[in-house]
Structures are given as structure tokens and as C-alpha cells.
Structure 1
Amino acid sequence: MKNNSAAFATSTSSFEAGAIPISESQGVQIKTLAPTKSEADHEIKLEGAFNVRDLGGFVTKDGRRIKDHLLLRSARLNHLTKNDIQVLTHQYNVGIDFDLRRPQEVAEAPDMKMPGVKYINDSVDTDESFHYHINDRNNRKHYRSYISNQRAREAYHDLFMTLLNANDKAVLWHCASGKDRTGLGGALIMYVLGVDMATIFDDYDASNDFLRAHNMKRLEALKTAGASRDELELARVDGGVDRSYLHAAFDEVKKEFGSIDAYLVNGLRISKRQQRKLRKQYLI
């Protein structure tokens, strides 16, 4: 699902190229380093969940590395098997399940309970911001709401506070498909930890690969049920991400706050001291 609008790409390419003000507290020059693992190697393969990934292994601009088995992202967790729960709680030491979905979504597909894991539901969306006709233009508008809405800012603030107080347990944050609300959360976390923008966008875009099998099954089911061409196109757009969506969120950051660093401090209320603590906590 690529949007090839030249005008849009030109207006936002500086974000992906890494030309974003870096916090003075990071004190490093911008450069791109390849991760020590391929994108595919970040996947956690479960039987009852999809688009599950460990951010461990990504390299920062100053040569440090995100610790393994501490920062996990995924889609909904309502079909976890006993073996999946064993993998998450024992192999990955998950201590907190941070659910970014709206209460209505949670009620329709509640997460499976995991022993010893604290569950937190902290919705990014309001009912007003969630309901819209799905297309590329509206999806970009929706991503802008992740920045402008107070509810979204509170949810991402709470996610960062949870990371700060995880006590060496892994935090798993997720939404429905693990690509939009979860994807922006992952991008912000990687930015705070000092990962370069090219890698952040590649990881965001990787949801298209991790969701491909799930989406193909969904489209085949719709075709079998006699879905129209418009319905199939809507499902295709809804099932993936486009880099222009994340660009739109960062454009809104620049519009409202001037820079990502200012947004983190003034919008999400994550102080520079707390950001330094996060880097100390999650990097080696």
C-alpha cells in the first residue's frame, strides 16, 4: 500500500532522511546504522496472534543497542493459545499488557488473561476520532489526530510512564492489528531511544509484511462472500500501512510543537531526564 504522491513525499521526506532535531541530551550526530537483526528476525511467532515483534536488537545512532525481550509490540491478543502465553510470560518475561484500543473494541475481543501480567487499557482514540471512511487521505488525517487529540497524548504519556516503571519486566503494547496506534507508539519509543529515522520508518512499514498472510485470508474470505470491488479495496487499505501516514503524524508534530523533541516534552510530558532514564534502562 504505497502512496506515490510526489508532492506529499517531497514535503515530508526530511523526516525519513533523519533531518529532525535531535535532543541535546542525546548529543550525537545523525547517521544511519543497519540493525544487527533483519526485520524478519524481530518477529515473535505465535499460534494465536499476529504482527508480534520484539524491538530488541535495533542499533541507535550512537552505536548502542535496544535490549532483547523488554519492548514488544503486537496486534490483538484475544486468541492466544496456552503455548503462546507460555512463550510471552516465560521466554519474553512479559509483565504488562498495554492495550491501546477503545473500550468497545476491548469488549468485543478481550485479551486472553496471562498469569502474573498486569493489564492496562488506555485508549488512543475517542469515539469521534475513530469513526471515519477508510482511505489514504482520511488515514493520514487520522494519524494527525494521534498528535492533536488530548486523549491520544495521554495514552502515549501513560505508555512511556509504564515503560519507566516496568521493573525489568517486558512491556507489550498493542491495538487491533498492531500497525497504526501501536506503530506510532513504537516509532516514538525508538526515537527516544536514539534509533535513526530510516530504521524507524522501515520498522513501521514492516507491518505490511507481517500482516500479509492474515490480510490474504481476509480478502479471500471477502471474495468468497461476494464482496464488491470497493469493499475489497477498502479491506486492502485497512489491512496495511503507508509511510505517508506516519509522515502525516510527524508533520502534525512539526505544525503544533515545532519538533519531535518539543512534542515529547510539551505534548507527552516526557521530560529530558525521563528520556535519559529510558535510554539507560533499555539500551546496552
Structure 2
Amino acid sequence: MSSLSALSSPPFVAVEGVINVRTIGGYRTDASHIVNPKLVFRSGEVSGITETGKQQLVALGIHRVFDMRTNLEINSYKTPSPNIPGVEFVPVPVGKEDPWEAGSIEKRLKHFQENELEAFVKDAQETLEIGAPAFEAIFRHFLERPSEPCLFNCTAGKDRTGLVAALILMLIGVDDADIKKDYALTTVGLEPEHEKLALRLQNIPVFRDNWKGATNMGSSKEESMAAILAMIREKYGGAAGYLTAFTRLEEKDLDVIRSNLLTEA
């Protein structure tokens, strides 16, 4: 299947002006249940949405969007959240406010160049531990608004977004093969905007000067997610262990969330 055909097929959905938009539903958890495909959506930044895209977003039933970008990202790229009547944008920033401080980002890029898998795991663990309040806000939506579809996004809809999606799917019992597949679909989802995103990074000297590391950091391979899932199990005992340790959610809440996100196959 071509990338164009894939983007026109589930789990991708059309929201004009927004990149990498798809449901994380449809995956089986057992013989009789799947993740409800009408409740949880993921994407890249929503700031470029068109008037047609706004109508498409609302038609999906989405009235709440969780934006994981930092203020620095939003201000640097001049990409504030749009105004869409009936849609609430909830800022849940995940990341250091100055992630591009020259020495820090250069060190990260060199790590991605020298040991890509190790770098992905390190970044994921840091994100989980500094981003717990944001993750709690998103999961609490599933607890408190079970019938209201929502969307969560970061800039490209790859790593922070991918980590939330992985936690959701892991929590409700989706097979690792499908979680890895969901992450790798970002390669398809970003293809139409790949050149634009690359140019954005090439305008930042530290990325331009460490392009191999930047390229590795921008990938979305199944083996990267496999390593992250292994880390989540080893460090936290799985998604439930992470959520009960780093958020105020309790096991009884997670049971309700599991039930809320499933539907009969």
C-alpha cells in the first residue's frame, strides 16, 4: 500500500491542515473486545488547521484537545492553538522550557547518533517522569468524560504523543506488536510534511550541525518502541505501575478507564 493510500485508510482520519492524525482505536485486547475507535485520537500540532479541518474535527465529536507542546515550541514556531468554537484546548506541556540550550541538545543529538535505541529509552524515561501531570490530565479525561472523544498532540505527534498512546494501549491489554505498529505509523503520517519539518530543524544550527543524530531522533521505528515498552515494564512494572506511582490515579480508576475505552469487537 502506498503512503497516500495508507493516509486515506484507517486508522488515519482526515483533518485538513493537521498532520499525522489517527485514532488509536480498533486494536484487539481479546477475542471479544477492541479499543473504541471513536474515542481517542492523536496528531501533530493543530495550529495549521483549515476551516474545513475544523469542521472535520468537530464531526469526529472532538471537543477537547490536549496540547503537550511547551510554550517555547509554540512561541518559537509562532503556532498557537487555533480558535474552534466548541473545542477546548488544554495546555499540558511536556518538556523542559529550554530544550534547545546548545550544550544540552548537542549532547542529546550525539547520543542519538551513537546509540539510537539507548537515546530513545533515555528520552522516554525522562518524559515519563517530568510529564506525569500531563499524562494524568489526559488519563483523567478517560475516567471523567468516558463518552467524549478527545485528541492529544505534540509538535509532530511522534514521541510525547506516541508515549501517551503506548501507555493507553499497554494499560488496556493491547499486544506489543500492535503498539509498535501504532508508533511506526508515524513514519507514514509525517511523510507529506517531512520536508517542511526537516527545513524547520535545519534552520536551527545545532540540529543542522548534528544532522545524523537529528535524523535518528526523528525516526519512528518499531524497535524503538519495543525498547521503550521493555523499559516501562522494567522500571515501573508496566503502564499501571507507572500511573499509580507517578499520578494520583488509583488502580480502581485504571479499571474504570480500561472499561471506558473498550467496546465489543
2:122 counterpart letter in structure 1 = K
Q: Is the 8 A contact 2:133 2:247 kept in 1?
A: yes
RMSD: 2.9
2:55 counterpart letter in structure 1 = Q
Given candidates 112, 135, 143, the residue that maps to 1:156 is 135
Cross-structure match for 2:258: 279
Distance in 2, Cα, partners of 1:222 & 1:104: 15
Cross-structure match for 1:13: none
TM-score (norm. length: structure 2): 0.79
Cross-structure match for 1:246: 225
Q: Is the 8 A contact 1:211 1:239 kept in 2?
A: no
- Going from structure 1 to structure 2, the CA distance change for 1:42 and 1:164 (only over 3 Å counts) comes to same
TM-score (norm. length: structure 1): 0.74
> 1:254-276: per-residue Cα shift (whole Å, max 9, x none)?
44334433222222343221122
Question: Alpha-carbon deviation of 1:195?
Answer: 1.1
Q: Is the 8 A contact 2:187 2:219 kept in 1?
A: yes
More helix by share: 2
Cross-structure match for 2:44: 75
Q: Which runs of 5+ in 2 are unaligned?
A: 1-5
Q: Is the 8 A contact 2:240 2:254 kept in 1?
A: no
Cross-structure match for 1:114: 84
Question: Alpha-carbon deviation of 1:145?
Answer: 0.5
Question: Alpha-carbon deviation of 1:229?
Answer: 8.5
Cross-structure match for 1:102: 70
> 1:16-61: per-residue Cα shift (whole Å, max 9, x none)?
xxxxxxxxxxxxxxxxxxxxx9994110123211100012322113
Secondary structure, in 3 states, of the residue corresponding to 1:246? Answer: helix
Distance in 2, Cα, partners of 1:185 & 1:39: 24
- Going from structure 1 to structure 2, the CA distance change for 1:222 and 1:118 (only over 3 Å counts) comes to closer
Q: Is the 8 A contact 1:179 1:207 kept in 2?
A: yes
- Going from structure 1 to structure 2, the CA distance change for 1:217 and 1:122 (only over 3 Å counts) comes to closer
Given candidates 187, 202, 206, the residue that maps to 1:208 is 187
- Going from structure 1 to structure 2, the CA distance change for 1:106 and 1:250 (only over 3 Å counts) comes to same
Q: % of aligned pairs identical?
A: 25
Whether 2:65 is the aligned partner of 1:84: answer: no
Q: Which runs of 5+ in 1 are unaligned?
A: 1-36
Distance in 1, Cα, partners of 2:56 & 2:177: 30
Cross-structure match for 1:192: 171
Q: Is the 8 A contact 1:39 1:206 kept in 2?
A: no
